[in-house]
Structure 1
Amino acid sequence: MPPTTRVEPFAAKLHFIPRSLRPVQAAIVNSQRDYFSHAAGWVLLTTTGRRTGLPRETLLPCVRSDNHIYLISTYGWQSDWIRNLRKNPKVKVTCNGEVVAGHGKMIEKLDDKIRIVSEHPFFAPAPFELVNAVALSPAMRPLLVAFLRRWVASRPVVAIRI
């Protein structure tokens, strides 16, 4: 359990919505698996269920660097994938059409989170190539980085080493 002094983002109060839509998301992912396993800005993350020990797959927006994938939890510490990863940091990721093993590390220090999103910005709420191209354009990049620096303050950032 995270310490009680952490401030959760407002979105954490809305976590019941994606939880209730889990079967719909699973159907979409399964029907479009080839697209999502190759799409820039997306990763299929497989964690181990913290209670069941079963594999749990989640589609998440991300940014990739040479040997890391960076994820930001929209729903803070309430996200099931975050809670699973805290219990067992060994994960599998499907990106660029390949499934690879990885190790997730929670980035909790604000300075470290700000450094990561400054070096590797991405528009997490809508990780589509066109949206990221506009958001990362020279005119918009400073605004995106400023938004991300504030946005990650109350959210865990995860670095998955692959």
Structure 2
Amino acid sequence: MPDMKAVKRALVHPMQRRLINPLGRKVSPTLLETTGRKSGQPRVTAVGGRMIDGAFWLVSEHGEHSDYVKNIKADPAVRVRLKGTWHTGIAQLLPDDDPRARLQQLPGGNSAVVRLVGTDLLSIRIDLT
């Protein structure tokens, strides 16, 4: 029997990479910049999240399968653009946090999409400096 999470990721990932992410980088008020683990170049991804108690929180829909999560694992120093201003920070992957409960604290529209297309939800906290 095929791994249904892998099948879902295989269907969703190309659409996100070629359509949703390029559009999101142009229109999203919230962007995450990581350093490419192979290229060393800045990589920008539109994300949905929220400031909670001085830290920026988000949930990765594909967890450690997401390229930006792989980049964070290689180098946790990131930048986040909030309301047009870039902030530096250190990202922490939190596999012990309940990502479904976390999504209830984050923006509703993005959270609904993450729940719909997500396969391996992973909470991420970015401590802004």
Fold shared per TM-score above 0.5? yes
Work out the number of aligned pairs and report it: 121
Indicate the percent of aligned positions where both proteins have the same amino acid: 22
TM-score (norm 2): 0.73
What are structure 1's unaligned runs of at least 5 residues? 1-7, 38-42, 132-147
Contact 1:62–1:70 (8 Å) recurs in 2: yes
1:159 paired residue among 120, 125, 129: 125
1:127 paired residue among 97, 107, 110: 110
In the alignment, what sits opposite 2:93? 106
In the alignment, what sits opposite 1:17? 12
Amino acid aligned to 2:90: H
Partner SS for 1:100: strand
**Structure 1 residue 18, shift from structure 2 partner:** 2.9
Deviation string for 1:2-35 (max 9, x for gaps)? xxxxxx9937742553345424335423542xxx
- What pairs with 1:1-162 in structure 2 (closer than 5 Å)? 10=5, 13-15=8-10, 17-32=12-27, 36-37=28-29, 43-109=30-96, 112-113=97-98, 117=102, 121-122=105-106, 126-127=109-110, 154-162=120-128
TM-score (norm 1): 0.60
**In angstroms, what is the RMSD of aligned CA positions?**
3.2
Contact 2:35–2:43 (8 Å) recurs in 1: yes
Structure holding more strand per residue: 2
Query: Taking structure 1 as reference, are residues 122 and 30 closer, same or farther at Cα in structure 2, changes over 3 Å only?
Result: closer
Runs of 4 or more above 6 Å deviation: none
**Structure 1 residue 96, shift from structure 2 partner:** 1.7
Distance in 2 between residues matched to 1:127 and 1:13, nearest whole Å:
18
